[in-house]
């Protein structure tokens, strides 16, 4: 590629991708994240408890499945 083509390509790339400007964060995001996590406590839906109970009952009736489940973990 000749120099003029390289210069033209460089110019086109600079037009297509302007400089990012300020890339540093203005503030620390971790305290805001901790506040957000404290606002909404973790809730487990009733359906999840039902699935867990079904799994427990199933393992009680079919204990030979336990090694298979452990293998897949």
Residues whose CB is less than 8 angstroms from the CB of residue 59 and which lie 6 or more positions away in sequence, other chains included: 65, 66, 69
15 phi/psi in degrees, rounded to 5: -70, -40
The two structure tokens encoding residue 33? 């994240």
**pLDDT for position 14:** 87
Task: Give 1-41 pLDDT, tens digit per residue.
Answer: 678 889 999 989 888 887 777 777 788 889 989 998 888 87
Q: How far is the C-alpha of 13 from the C-alpha of 8, rounded, in Å? A: 9
Residues 59 and 66: beta-carbon distance below 8 Å: yes
**pLDDT for position 1:** 64
**pLDDT for position 63:** 93
């Amino acid at each position: 590629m000749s120099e003029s083509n390289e210069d033209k390509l460089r110019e086109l790339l600079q037009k297509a991708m302007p400089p990012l400007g300020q890339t540093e964060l203005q503030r620390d995001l971790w305290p805001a994240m901790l506040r957000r996590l404290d606002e909404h406590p973790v809730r487990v839906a009733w359906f999840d408890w039902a699935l867990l109970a079904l799994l427990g009952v199933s393992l009680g009736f079919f204990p030979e499945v336990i090694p298979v489940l452990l293998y897949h973990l």
